[in-house]
Amino acid sequence: MTPLKIGFIGLGNMGAPMASNLAAAGHSVTGFDVAGTTAKDVTVAADISGTVRDADVVITMLPNGSILRQVAAQAFTDMQEGALFIDCSTVDVESARNTAEAAEKAELLAVDAPVSGGIGGAAGGTLTFMAGGTVDGFAKASPLFEIMGQKAVHCGEAGAGQAAKICNNMILGATMIATCEAFALADKLGLERQKMFDVVSTSSGYSWSMNAYCPAPGVGPTSPADNDYTPGFAAELMLKDLGLSQQAAEAANADTPMGALALALYRQFVEDEDGKGRDFSAMLPRLAARNRES
């Protein structure tokens, strides 16, 4: 692949390793983050304009839809005609569609491409990209997805990538809670956690939350539970994504009672208890310490 000039906005825990992987693959990467963070082999710019000017591709990894809209508005003013804008943030569907419309007016290609795989996937280049946008935009982005990840799926038109991410993480939040509830119940029934794992991981209770990211320390593959629930995916990020799912469900008039309950539980855990700064699987010690009435 011919080396590209890439601007990368948002060099946080996810963005920095993604930008470094692109630089390691031979691309010329210039980055910017309002917090002043940097990334290995990435040239630091002073502002958004300096990051995107003359870039063939601009990639963003940002906290929310409001910030995405602000950054895109600034970036589109200075991006060259025909350049590609890839947003890898997890934001609301409406912000993704609004950004795509603004890009089209600026004669730019745009792809919304939120990721799954967490910090480890960003560092290892094993992310999954869920992309929305035009066929041409996805085709141009695909070689970069191959560097930063192991799989990319073109989900449909603008906003479809965000829709896929929101639905996926609604499932993840609900299944993690159910998995943690099952371990807490097993404890009170006198069933050893390892024995429960041995049964459930090969039975109809099989799930990613159980088999790949088990919330019980010392059980199954190594997970954040084995590191005192230091975040691989923080509870507050799950809260954000569940909030997006319910915002989308309300807009689409979809009945999602499990998603709504998962949102309520993670909101309580993060905002009223000790969940902030812990992995989302730390719902297990929270439930294990409670009684039915509490």
What pLDDT is attached to residue 1? 76
Q: Check pLDDT > 80 for residue 230.
A: yes
> What average pLDDT is seen over the chain?
97
Q: Check pLDDT > 90 for residue 293.
A: no
Q: Check pLDDT > 80 for residue 8.
A: yes
**pLDDT tens-digit readout, 98-137:** 999 999 999 999 999 999 988 889 999 999 999 999 999 9
What pLDDT is attached to residue 294? 66
% of the chain beyond a pLDDT of 90: 97
Determine phi and psi for 212, rounding to 5 degrees: -105, -20
207: helix, strand or coil = coil
**pLDDT tens-digit readout, 177-214:** 999 999 999 999 999 999 999 999 999 999 999 999 99
What pLDDT is attached to residue 218? 98
- Averaged pLDDT, 270-282: 97
CA distance 104 to 155: 19
What pLDDT is attached to residue 208? 96
The first and second tokens of residue 274, run together, are: 């000790």
Answering whether pTM is above 0.85, one says: yes
Q: Which of 165, 195, 240, 276 is catalytic?
A: 165
DSSP 292: T
Instruction: Verify whether residue 165 is a known catalytic residue.
Output: yes
**pLDDT tens-digit readout, 34-69:** 999 999 999 999 999 999 999 999 999 999 999 999
Amino acid at 22: L
130: helix, strand or coil = strand
Residue 273, number of CB atoms within 10 A of its CB: 13
Q: Check pLDDT > 90 for residue 77.
A: yes
CA distance 171 to 95: 22
**pLDDT tens-digit readout, 142-179:** 999 999 999 999 999 999 999 999 999 999 999 999 99
CA distances from 184 to 125, 178, 179, 270, 292 (A): 35, 10, 9, 19, 11
